[in-house]
Amino acid sequence: MEIKGTAKLLRIIVGESDKVGHTPLYEVIVKEARERHLAGATAWRGILGFGRTARMRTAKLLDLSSDLPMVIEIVDEEEKMDDFIPVLHELFEKAGSGGLITLEKVEIIHYFHGSDNE
C-alpha cells in the first residue's frame, strides 16, 4: 500500500486507565484500526499532562500517576478516517470515559510498507 498527497491525521488522547471491559481503551482503538485496515496506528504514553479536571498526571518517580495520558495517532485517507470516527464514539461510550479526538489535514511525504517480515 502506498499513500501519497493529502490525508488526515486522527489524534486520540485518553487516560491510561480507561478500559473497555478489561482491555485498555488505547489498545482497543489500535486493534480496531488494524481490523478496519487503516494504514497504521501508533500509541504512546505521555510523561506529563492534564485534562478537564486540571489534575496533573506525571511520570515523575515521586508523583507517579497510574493514569498517564495516552496518545494514539492514525494517518490515512479522509474517507477511511470519516468512517472510523463513529467507531471511536462507540468505544468511548463502552469505556465510559472522556478523552479528546482531533482530525487535521496532513501532507504525506513518504509512506511505503517495508518487507512482510515487519
Residue 107: name the closest of 7, 2, 1, 3 by CA.
7
C-alpha cell at 53: 479536571
What integer pLDDT is reported at residue 48 of this predicted model?
A: 78
Would you place residue 84 in the very low, low, confident or very high pLDDT band (cuts 50, 70, 90)?
Answer: very high
C-alpha cell at 40: 497504521
Secondary structure percentages of the chain, helix, strand, coil, to 5: 25, 35, 35
Question: Domain 5-108 falls in which CATH fold?
Answer: Alpha-Beta Plaits (3.30.70)
Q: Is the pTM of this model over 0.95?
A: no
SS3 (DSSP) at 19: strand
Would you place residue 59 in the very low, low, confident or very high pLDDT band (cuts 50, 70, 90)?
Answer: low
Q: Over the stretch 23-52, which tens digit does the pLDDT of each residue have?
A: 999 999 999 999 999 998 999 998 877 766
What integer pLDDT is reported at residue 116 of this predicted model?
A: 61
- Identify the burial level of 96 via C-beta atoms within 10 angstroms of its C-beta, where 0-12 means exposed, 13-18 middle and 19 or more buried: exposed
**Where exactly are the structural domains of the chain?**
5-108
DSSP 61-99: GGGB-SS-EEEEEEEE-HHHHHHHHHHHHHHHHHHT---
What's the whole-number mean pLDDT along residues 95-101?
93
